[in-house]
Amino acid sequence: MSGFFKKLMHGFSQDSDPVTNYEGSKGVGLRIENLNKSFEDNHVLRDISLDIQAGETFSIIGPSGTGKSVLLKHIVKLITPDSGKIYIDGQDIFAEDVDKKPKGYRYSMVFQTSALFNSLSVGENVGLWLREKRVCPENRIRRIIREKLRLVGLEGKEELMISELSGGMKKRVAIARSLAMNPDLILYDEPTAELDPVTSDELARVIMDLKKELQLTTIIVSHDLNFALYLSDRVAMIDPEGIVEVGTPDQIKASENPVVRKFIYTTTKGIKGED
Amino acid sequence: MIEALGRNILNLTQTAGEMVKLFGQTVLYFKEAPRNLPSIFRQTAEIGIGTLPVASVLALFVGMVLALQTGSELALYGSQEAIGAIVGLSMVKELGPVMTCLLVAGRVGSSMAAEVGAMQVYEEIDALKTLEISPIRYLAMPRLLACLFAVPALVIFSMLIGIAGGAFISDINPVINVPYNVYYENMIRAIGYLDIVKGIIKATVFGGIVAHVGCYVGFKTRGGARGIGQSTTRAVVMSFLMILVADYFLSRLMM
Ligand SMILES: Nc1ncnc2c1ncn2[C@@H]1O[C@H](COP(=O)(O)OP(=O)(O)OP(=O)(O)O)[C@@H](O)[C@H]1O
Ligand SMILES: [Mg+2]
């Protein structure tokens, strides 16, 4: 019971917090220690430990159903672990008293399913956080919405309703909605899954530009290997047994680990194998 | 068998506990209502104006049938003047609030459960949480407030329509044959201000039940489109039962 309630109460104490320092992002470090999570007898996450530096672009790759989305949901506190800890910016995010004080950083997540608010228009989706938090005056909010939509190639689409969008457009609106928060930590769950190659390239450029401009920490879960390897400072490969390997894209490509090699040198989706 | 019974009782107490807690939190967020005024207005209008036509038809016919049946019965004893008091009192104290709120439960409660349930299933509520917007403040509070405003208004309206329907039948039916002014005087003598207040108190409580159950069931929705369907039914059944139980206790309390 308290679990259900705690979930609903998520964000209760921060609700009336003023949003300080909207302009800049600082990038926060993230440390995950021995995270375990089971759903009934399905042990999804096994002893996951990761250390992600402030300002780093970090990708997580791995087969379907290994708990990548579940891992991201732990980081944004939608799921609580059975055991293990997550530190963001040095703070244990699951500590008892953590909701009592302001966090001092912002995170946002692009859901695998986009999870847009169906009853709102595109512009209202992107601006919801700004408006609810009273971050800035309305005309400024409109400008921010236009700017973020432009970044994802949806300029001038503010008035469309969510049901009128294609899957790829929804994903891009979700990305714009996350960017509107100016987060210090941004999580992308399959950002390119529904995008065409050209839009994927553009998204890659946007993510790189953001990183240069804002030094934010980026975590990407993707099956799009070229995308992940191209963008990332480091990549982690996860499989049902836990984390298999962590390294720079070059290290991953050169890995001797058979699990990693099998995953990335495939015919249709991987990078071209050297035969 | 005993184990199953025990589990059911445990479930029931757990549900009750969760509902009380959610209610408390929703009420705590009332202080932030000014931030959500547009949403509260929209909900109020939707509930009020949307339910008005059906509620009117319902009240009109209930008033008419009531007058027809009791009136012809009373006519046998030549005491049909009492018809105004009977229709008036039953509409104000019982039928107006209960019938209208059962209708609201079917129309509004179910759609709230479906809407919030869909948001739960399609991760919109998770997305709200990551935006640090409390789903209770953003979804439950405006709906509860809207019902607390709109439902009593609807009920007052239904009472009037029902009384008017009764008056109409009493006047035109040759067996009953009670003219408007007799009906009216008789009714006014029977209904006190307190009766009206009690009726409105009932309406407010029932309205709160409908919104609260709708949101609670919505938040608890699991399992895709099927789950949303089940939630809709569950919300209606739960509000029906709770309205009927609350009606008994409120009537007893305000006797
Ligand atoms: N809320 C939940 N309740 C029960 N089981 C869950 C829940 N969420 C996820 N799971 C289970 O956890 C496992 C991992 O799911 P997850 O969505 O994290 O996979 P994934 O690695 O993101 O896969 P994909 O690449 O296909 O998105 C799955 O077996 C899934 O059934
Ligand atoms: Mg996933």
Residue B24 belongs to some domain of the structure:
no
Kindly state whether residue B93 falls inside one of the protein's structural domains: yes
Chain B residues 148-207 with CB within 8 Å of chain A: none
Instruction: Please indicate, yes or no, if residue B57 is contained in any of the structural domains.
Output: yes
Report helix angle B110-121 to B193-219, nearest 10: 20
How far is it, in rounded angstroms, from Cα A133 to Cα A183? 14
Closest CA to B200 of B72, B91, B60: B91
* CB contacts, 8 Å: B129 with chain A: 7, 10-11, 76-78
- Stretch B51-62: mean pLDDT, rounded? 96
The confidence score (pLDDT) of residue B87 equals 93
* Residue identifier of the C-alpha nearest atom 7 of ligand 1: A39
Residues B241, B255: Cα–Cα separation, whole Å: 21
Confidence of residue A11 (pLDDT cuts 50, 70, 90): very low
Two tokens at B222?
């699991």
CA atoms of B64 and A233, how far apart (whole Å): 77
β-pair partners for A247: A235
Nearest alpha carbon to residue A67 among A97, A99, A43, A102: A43
Looking at residues A106-113, what average pLDDT do you find?
A: 93
Residue B3 lies in a domain: no
pLDDT per residue as tens digits for the range B15-35: 999 999 999 999 999 998 888
- Positive or negative torsion for Cα B117, B118, B120, B126: negative
What is the full DSSP assignment across A129-197?
A: HHHHTT-S-HHHHHHHHHHHHHHTT-TT-TT-BGGGS-HHHHHHHHHHHHHTT--SEEEEESTTTT--H
Q: Domains, chain A, ranges and CATH?
A: 3-267 (3.40.50.300)
CB-based contact, B37 to chain A, within 8 Å: no
Query: Starting from the edge strand earliest in sequence, which strands make up the sheet with A30-39, in order?
Result: A42-52, A30-39, A83-88, A91-92
Q: CB of A115 within 8 Å of any CB in chain B? A: yes
The whole-number average pLDDT for the span A40-44 is 91
Q: Which of B122, B128, B133 is facing A113, going by the closest CB pair?
A: B122
Banded pLDDT at A15 (limits 50, 70, 90):
very low
Distance A10 CA to ligand 1 centre (A): 21
What are the tens digits of pLDDT across the range B195-250? 999 999 999 999 999 999 999 999 999 998 999 999 999 999 999 999 999 999 99
**Cβ of residue A69 lying under 6 Å from some atom of ligand 1:** yes
CA atoms in the 13 A half-sphere facing the CB of B254 = 17
A4 — contact with chain B (CB < 8 Å)? Answer: yes
Q: Are B178 and B170 a contacting pair, CB within 8 Å?
A: yes
Q: Convert the pLDDT of each residue in A146-162 to its tens digit.
A: 999 998 889 999 999 99
CA distance B103 to B61: 14
CA distance B18 to A109: 28
Is residue A233 classed exposed, middle or buried when 0-12, 13-18 and 19+ CB atoms within 10 A define those classes? middle
- Does residue A40 line the site of ligand 1, with CB under 6 A? no
Which domain, by its residues, includes B227? 39-253
- pLDDT score, position A13: 42
Considering only the beta carbons, identify the residue of B21, B127, B135 that sits closest to A115.
B127
Q: Residue B23 falls within a domain, yes or no?
A: no
Q: Which of B111, B130, B138, B143 to mutate to test the interface with A (most CBs of A within 10 A)?
A: B130
- pLDDT tens string A57-76: 999 999 999 999 999 999 99
Percent of residues, chain A, with pLDDT higher than 90: 52
- What ipTM did this prediction achieve? 0.86
Residue B30 inside a domain? The answer is: no
Q: Ligand 1 atom 26: the closest Cα is on which residue?
A: A64
Residue B250 corresponds to which amino acid?
Answer: L
What dihedral angle (degrees, nearest 10) is formed by the CA atoms of A140, A146, A147, A150? 180
Report, as an integer, the average pLDDT of A108-137: 92
- The strand pairing partners of A189, in sequence order, are A221
- For A31, the token pair is 């440390």
B70 domain residue, yes or no: yes
Atom of ligand 1 nearest to the CA of A112: 27
Look up tokens 């990305």; give the residue: A175
B3 close contact with A: CB closer than 8 A: no
Query: Is residue B233 assigned to a domain?
Result: yes
Spacing of C-alpha B5 from chain mean position: 31
Q: Which of B22, B134, B219 has the CB atom closest to A11's CB atom?
A: B134
Mean of pLDDT values over B179-204? 93
Domain count, chain B: 1
